[in-house]
Amino acid sequence: MSQTDTSAAREQVRLHVVTGKGGTGKSTVAAALALALASHGRDVLLCEVEGRQGIARMFDVDPLPYDERRIATGLARTEADGGPAGSAGTVHALHIDAESALLDYLAMYYKLGRAGRALDRFGVTEFATTIAPGVRDVLLTGKVYEAVERNSRNKGAVTYDAVVLDAPPTGRIAQFLNVGKELAGLAKVGPIRSQADTMTTLFRSPRTAIHLVTVLEEMPVQETWDGIEELRADGLPVGSVVVNQVRPRDIAESDLALVRAGDLDEAALGADLEAAGVEVTPDLVDALVDEARDHAERRALEEAQRAVVDGFGVPVIELPRLPAGVDLGGLYDLAARLREQGLG
């Protein structure tokens, strides 16, 4: 596929689903992607469904209610980005829980209103979402679907140019999105089944892209590949693989090979330190050599896993490890890097 074709396909995407093995930083990537997409005045909704209030912590705002809240200004586009400058858009956030989504559903399809909230006091919503996990996933994804399909006829509601979903981990993502299959034995007809079928059509269309986040370690990379195969088997569209927390590659491979072979010239290292005004001791040199060996071995492992990822046949995007950790400034930095690589 040519770069033009790739760009056109990405422009068509309205729903970006971000998944990944725990510990790979999928929530961070989802937040950065929302900031990257919110340029040229575009409005983006960032959703979470796992109940951890991760969005609130990352953006340093109060815990989110079951309500769409504006939380940030997007990343402004400049002429240096390769096109005309444009104003930043806005990022809204929504924390979706199954119980509130069920009350919405009852009000929308059965006009229960206050009666639905009375059911909640009797524990009916908890029963429904616990006894039938497939129903729970329909409720969670249903709210996301509504935000994607929303239009100007929805009075008083923000119409979004893109929706980013911080989704469940890779091991559950195909099941989570394949709501029609999950409900096959529970609801063969009726509004729940109809809604599931309609959502499945969106999730399998070119308007959806599922991005998988990994780090360059064997288990996350293998789980990423397993996830890609499972998604493809279910007809769900894979977008990009985002390789997160990449270490800097500022040491030549020839130097790393010397370190791994134990051939580093320690005398030359000490001389370089002295030339830089550092007081050199044997303990300092030994510690630096040990650290260099650890780094060299880690780099070798990462390069091996990078080769595996490159063989997936999926667009690959790399994000650096942020030495100071991820704060709001770090999110904007990651957003800029996503956009530089064509995602945003």
Read off the pLDDT of each residue in 324-344 and give the average, rounded to a whole number. Answer: 91
Looking at residue 5, its pLDDT comes to 47
Looking at residue 91, its pLDDT comes to 96
Q: Tell how far CA 90 is from the center of its chain.
A: 18
Stronger pLDDT, 146 or 128, i.e. the higher one: 146
> Quick one: 94 exposed, middle or buried, by C-beta within 10 A (0-12, 13-18, 19+)?
buried
- Which of 280, 138, 289 is CA-nearest to residue 199? 138
Strand ranges (E), the chain? 15-20, 43-48, 69-73, 90-95, 162-166, 208-214, 238-246, 316-320
Read off the pLDDT of each residue in 106-133 and give the average, rounded to a whole number. Answer: 52
Read off the pLDDT of each residue in 65-89 and give the average, rounded to a whole number. Answer: 76
Read off the pLDDT of each residue in 67-82 and give the average, rounded to a whole number. Answer: 78
Taking only the tens place, the pLDDT of each residue in 21-49 is 999 999 999 999 999 999 888 999 999 98
Looking at residue 235, its pLDDT comes to 94
**Which CATH number applies to 12-247+321-339: 3.40.140.10, 3.30.70.141, 3.40.50.880, 3.40.50.300?**
3.40.50.300
For the chain, what percent of residues have pLDDT higher than 70?
79
Stronger pLDDT, 104 or 17, i.e. the higher one: 17
Read off the pLDDT of each residue in 102-124 and give the average, rounded to a whole number. Answer: 55
Contacts of residue 178, defined as CB under 8 A and 6 or more positions apart, other chains included, come to 200, 203, 234, 236
Q: Using DSSP, how many helices (H) and how many strands (E) does the chain show? A: 15, 8
Distance CA 300, CA 33 (A): 29
Q: Where are the alpha helices (DSSP H) in the chain?
A: 3-12, 26-37, 54-59, 98-110, 114-121, 124-131, 133-149, 170-177, 179-182, 191-203, 218-233, 253-261, 266-275, 282-310, 328-340
Kind and range of the H or E element at 258? helix 253-261
Looking at residue 1, its pLDDT comes to 44
Structure tokens at 27: 């929530």
**pLDDT beyond 80 at 126:** no
Stronger pLDDT, 30 or 299, i.e. the higher one: 30
Read off the pLDDT of each residue in 62-76 and give the average, rounded to a whole number. Answer: 89
pTM score? 0.84
Q: Residue 4: which pLDDT band, with cuts at 50, 70 and 90?
A: very low
Taking only the tens place, the pLDDT of each residue in 222-273 is 999 999 999 999 999 999 999 999 988 777 888 888 888 888 888 888 898 8
Structure tokens at 205: 């269309």
**Residue type present at position 165:** L
- The domain ranges of the chain are 12-247+321-339, 253-295
Q: Residue 178: which pLDDT band, with cuts at 50, 70 and 90?
A: confident
**Residue type present at position 277:** G
For the chain, what percent of residues have pLDDT higher than 90?
46
Structure tokens at 299: 């780099």
Stronger pLDDT, 186 or 145, i.e. the higher one: 145
Looking at residue 187, its pLDDT comes to 54
Taking only the tens place, the pLDDT of each residue in 133-173 is 567 787 788 889 889 988 755 667 789 999 999 999 999 99
**pLDDT beyond 60 at 119:** no
